[in-house]
Amino acid sequence: MKSLLIKGGRVIDPANHVDEVRDVFIAESKIVASAQDAEVIDARGKIVTPGLIDMHVHLREPGRGDKETVETGTRCAARGGFTSIVCMPNTTPAADNTGTIAFIRQRVAEVGCVNVFPTGAISKELKGEELAPIGSLKKAGIVALTDDGHCVQSNDLMRRAVEYAKMFNLPVLDHCQDYSLVADGVVHEGYWSAALGLRGWPATGEDVIVARNVLLAELTDWWIHCQHISSARSVQLIREAKRRGVKISAEACPHHFTMTDGCVKAYETNFKMNPPLRTEHDRDGILEGLADGTIDCIASDHAPHCTYEKEVEFDLAPFGIIGLETELALSLELVRKKVLTLPALIERFTTKPATLLRLNKGTLSMGADADVTIIDPEIEWTYDVTQSASKSRNSPFHGWQMRGKAERTIVGGVTKFP
Ligand SMILES: [Zn+2]
C-alpha cells in the first residue's frame, strides 16, 4: 500500500482541537507522523477532515436490491465524503437476528467501499411486540439498537429494551412517532395539509415520543438517541433534558433544516418523508438546536425507493429520499449562514457520532485508521440525480445549485472516491 502525504490543507480535527494548515501522513492504513516515498496529494485551499460519519442510512440489502445494495449505497457514501455509515435494520428479513447481521457484514467485506456499522432491531420484525435477541445481536457486531421506520409504542417494552441495551453497552436510537396521533398522516399537519387536502402528521406525534424517551432515559440512566428530529418542540424538550444531565441525544437531516412543508405544494412525492417537512418555525428550531449543540449529529436518513414506487399518488408513495451525495453541500450552507462554525459542523459529522456509537473513528490522531475526507468548500456544482451512484433517483434536490463537495474520500488509506 502506497504511503500518502496530504499536503498544505486546512486540517480540522475536532477530537484534537486542531484547525490549522498542516500536512497529514498516511502509511499502512493509519495516520502517522511522517512517511517515506509518499504519494503527494495537493490539498492547498482544501479542508482535510477525519472521514465523515453518517449514522442513519438505509442500504436496503438484504431484500430490496432493486432500491439499493451494499455496493451502490457505500459508493454513494464515498461520493458524499462519508467513510463510515451506520445502516438501519428495516431490511427484508429485518436485522433482528444474527444471520442477517452476518450477511450484511459479509456483503460489506465483499463489495463495500466504506466502513459499515450495522444496527440491530429493538423488537422482532420491528413489530414492537417482543424484544429481539439483544445479546446475540451485540455479539454479531451491531453498534446500536433501533426499530427505525417503526417506533416501539409500548412504553414498557421500550423501557425493557433500554434496560437490556444498558447491560450490553448499546445506545438505543429511536424513530419518534406516536401511531395514534400520526395515524395515516403524510405531510405536516398545518396550513399546507389543509390547503392541499392531504392527511396531517402533527408535530405532537413526534414530541410525545421524544418526551417519553427523555423520561425513560432518565429512569434507566441510559442513552436514547432521537433520530431525524423535525419539530421545534422536540428540540426544546431535548435541550431541557440535556440541561438536567439526561442521557439523551439527537440528529437532524439536511432536508429538515433546508426546506419547509410549503415545498410539498405540487404534490411532488420526492418531498414526502417521515417525519415530514415542517414549518419555518420548526426549521428555525432545528437550526437553533444545531447551533447550541442540542442536536449532536447530522445524518442523511438516506432512504432509496424505486421510481415506480414514488410515481404514484402522494398518499400512496413511500416516505423517504436519498441524501448521501447532497448532505455535505447542504450542511456547508449552515457555515455560510453562520449557524455553525466549520469546526463545529465537522464535529457533528465526526467526533459526535463516533462518541455516541462508541466507534473508534472520527479523528486524525496518530495511529488512528486512515479515514480522511478532503473537501473543496467553494466548488460550485449542480446535483444531477440521474448520475447518482445510488440505484434510486428519489431526491428533491435534483437540479439544485450546490456549493462545496468532497473532493477525495480515503478509507483505510485507500482512495475510494473519485
Ligand atoms: Zn426513521
C-alpha cell, 275: 417525519
pLDDT at residue 318 in the model: 93
Phi, then psi, of 53 in degrees rounded to 5: -120, 130
Edge-to-edge strands, sheet with 224-226? 145-146, 172-174, 224-226, 248-252, 297-298
Long-range contacts of the stretch 17-25 (C-beta < 8 A, 24+):
18/364, 19/342, 19/343, 24/48, 24/364, 24/372
Measure CA of the first residue to CA of the last residue in the chain; give whole Å: 18
Distances (CA, A) of 93 to 25, 68, 149, 212: 42, 15, 14, 29
pLDDT above 90 for 86: yes
- Round the average pLDDT of the chain to a whole number and report it: 97
Superfamily of domain covering 51-362: Metal-dependent hydrolases (3.20.20.140)
Average pLDDT on 366-395 reads 97
What angle do the packed helices 232-243 and 204-220 form, to 10 degrees? 20
pLDDT above 90 for 1: no
Question: Which residues are identified as catalytic?
Answer: 301
- pLDDT tens profile 7-66: 999 999 999 999 999 999 999 999 999 988 999 999 999 999 999 999 999 999 999 999
Least confident of 49-58, 246-255, 258-267, 287-296: 258-267
Can you tell me the distance from the alpha carbon of 113 to that of 234, in angstroms, rounded to the nearest whole number? 35
CA angle 142, 146, 151 (to 5 degrees): 165
pLDDT at residue 2 in the model: 86
Domain-wise residue ranges, the chain: 51-362
Distance 368 CA to ligand 1 centre (A): 31
pLDDT at residue 57 in the model: 98
* Three-state SS at 341: coil
Distance 160 CA to ligand 1 centre (A): 21
Distance 175 CA to ligand 1 centre (A): 5
8 A C-beta contact, residue 92 and residue 103: no
Q: Which residues lie near ion ligand 1 (Cβ < 5 Å)?
A: 148, 175
Distance 148 CA to ligand 1 centre (A): 5
- pLDDT tens profile 202-230: 999 999 999 999 999 999 999 999 999 99
8 A C-beta contact, residue 371 and residue 410: yes
Distance 128 CA to ligand 1 centre (A): 15
Average pLDDT on 163-171 reads 97
